Amino acid sequence: MNELAAKRNAVTELMRISPLADDLAGLFAAAGHRLYLVGGSVRDALLGRLSSDLDFTTDARPERILKIVSGWADAVWETGIEFGTVGITKRGSTLEITTFRADTYDRVGRNPEVTFGDTIEGDLLRRDFTVNAMAIDLSTKQFVDPYNGLDALSARVLDTPATPQESFADDPLRMLRAARFVAQLGFTPAPRVVDAMKDMAGELRRITAERVQAELSKLLLGEYPRRALELLVDTGLAELVLPEVPGMRLAIDEHHQHKDVYHHSLTVLEQAIALEKRDGWQPDLVLRLAALLHDIGKPATRRFESGGGVSFHHHEVVGAKMTRKRLRALKYSKQIVDDVSQLVFLHLRFHGYGNGEWTDSAVRRYVTDAGPLLDRLHKLVRADCTTRNKRKAAALQRTYDGLEERIARIQAEEDLAKVRPDLDGNEIMKILGLPPGPLVGQAWRHLKELRLDRGPLSHEDAVAELHRWAEENGVA
C-alpha cells in the first residue's frame, strides 16, 4: 500500500461520513477542544471498510463532552463515563467519544486505574496494536501516526506501540486479540509479539472465562480462523483456552490419510466454512465450533489393535461429553452448548449408512435426532470428508447426496419436522382411562417410536397399538 495513496483513501472514506464527523469536530473546536477519529475506525478507513460505528478521542474531560454534545446528539448514554467514554447516536450512527487516557495497571486483573491524559501521542501509546494506534485530526484531516501504524498496516503486521511484554502485562487479553485480528484481517504477528505470547501465555489466567469466550467466538467467526488457531496452539495459549485442540495432535487419524486429528479438524473447519459460503450462509458459530471439536474424543478412545490398526470406538459419545464440559467452562449459552454437543454426537451417524442400506425408519431417526440442526449436520458430515483420494471423496459425497434426496422425499410425504405420535396425550388418557402422569408419557413415547419405525398409522391401528402396549405393560 502506497502511503500517500493510503492516506488519500482514508480521507476519502472519512469524507463519506461527513458532515457528521465535521459537525461534531466543529462543536468541539467551538468549545476550544480537539477531536480525533481514532483506533479501529482509522484502521478500517484505511482498509476501505469504515462502518457507521465510530470511535473518537479528545482532550475534553467527560463532563465537558456531555455539555458539548447535549442538544446535538439524538441520544446520549453515560454507561462508560467512569472510563472517560460518552456514547451518542446521531442519524443512525453510533459514536463513542473518550477523553485522552494515560492509564496504569496493577497487573493483577485487567481493569486499569483510569487516568486522563493530555496528549494524543500518550493516548495512542496505551493502545493494543500499532494498527489501532493511528488517529485523524478532524479539524485538519491530518494523520497522527507516532508508532508507524501505517507501515504495519501496509505490511499486514501486528505489533505493539509499547513493548509486547508491557502491553500484555497490562492486559493479557491482548494476546487473544492478536489471534482474533489474525482471524479477522489475515495479519501476521511480529516475531517479538509471538515470543511474548509464548513467554506470557500463563498470564491469561487473569482473564475471566466470559472475556476469553467473547474473543474466541470473534476469532472463530473471522475469515481465517485456522491461522489464528494455529497461533494459539503454537504459543501455548490454546492450552488455557481449548486444551482439547492441541491434545488432538496425539491421535493418528484412523484413515491414515492425515498427519493427525488436529490437522484433520482444522481442515474440516475450513471445509465447513467453504460450505457456508457456497450456500450463502452468514458465519455460523455453532457449525464452526462443531467442526473444530467433532473429533476431540479420539485421544481418550484411541486403541491400538492387534493387526496394527488404530480404533476410536465411541469417540463421538466421549467427544460430545467433552464438548459440553469445555463450552460450559467457557460460559457459552445453554443453547450453544446443547447444539454443538449434539452435532458432535451425531457427526459419525452417517457412516452407518453404507451404500444406502438404511431403512426409511433409520432415515426418520436421523432427521428427528438432528431436529433443527439438520442443515448444520449436513454441512458437518460433508466437511468431515478430508481424504486425498478423489475417487473415494466423490463416492462419499454421492452417497450423502443420496441420503439427502431420501430425506427430502420422506419429508415431503410425512413432514418429518413435525413428527408426533398418531395419538396425542389427551387421546391416550381418554382411551386408557388414565389420569395425567408418567404412564401417559411412556405411552406417548412408545407411539412415537412406532411412528418413526413404520411411518404414519391410521387412527384404528394407533388405538390397537396403544391397547397392545397397555396390555404388555400391565396398564389397566
Residue 227 has pLDDT above 60, yes or no: yes
Lowest mean pLDDT of 142-146, 179-183, 417-421, name the range: 417-421
Task: Give the residue, 175 or 433, on which the prediction is more confident.
Answer: 175
pTM of the entire predicted model: 0.81
Q: What is the pLDDT of residue 108?
A: 64
Domain parsing of the chain, residue ranges: 3-155, 242-417, 420-472
Q: Over the Cα atoms of the chain, what is R_g?
A: 29
85 beta partners: 98
CA geometry: angle 58, 60, 62, nearest 5 deg = 105
Convert the pLDDT of each residue in 278-323 to its tens digit: 999 999 999 999 999 999 999 888 877 776 677 787 899 999 999 9
Q: What is the mean pLDDT of residues 389-409?
A: 90
Residue 417 has pLDDT above 60, yes or no: no
Q: What is the pLDDT of residue 111?
A: 65
Instruction: Give residue 257's pLDDT band: very low, low, confident or very high (50, 70, 90).
Output: very low
Measured between its terminal Cα atoms, the distance across the chain in Å is 82
Instruction: Give residue 216's pLDDT band: very low, low, confident or very high (50, 70, 90).
Output: very high
Q: What is the pLDDT of residue 476?
A: 64
* Domain covering 242-417 assigned CATH 1.10.3210 in the classification: yes
Q: What is the mean pLDDT of residues 194-198?
A: 98
Q: Which of 37-41, 291-295, 313-317, 357-361 has the highest mean pLDDT?
A: 291-295
Q: Which residue has the cell 443420496?
A: 402
Q: Which of 114-118, 251-255, 398-402 has the highest mean pLDDT?
A: 398-402
Q: CATH says 3-155 is which class?
A: alpha beta
> What percent of the chain stands above pLDDT 70?
89
310 beta partners: 304
Q: What is the mean pLDDT of residues 360-372?
A: 89
Contacts of 378 (CB under 8 A, 6+ apart): 400, 404
CA distances 52 to 13, 60, 80, Å, are: 11, 23, 20
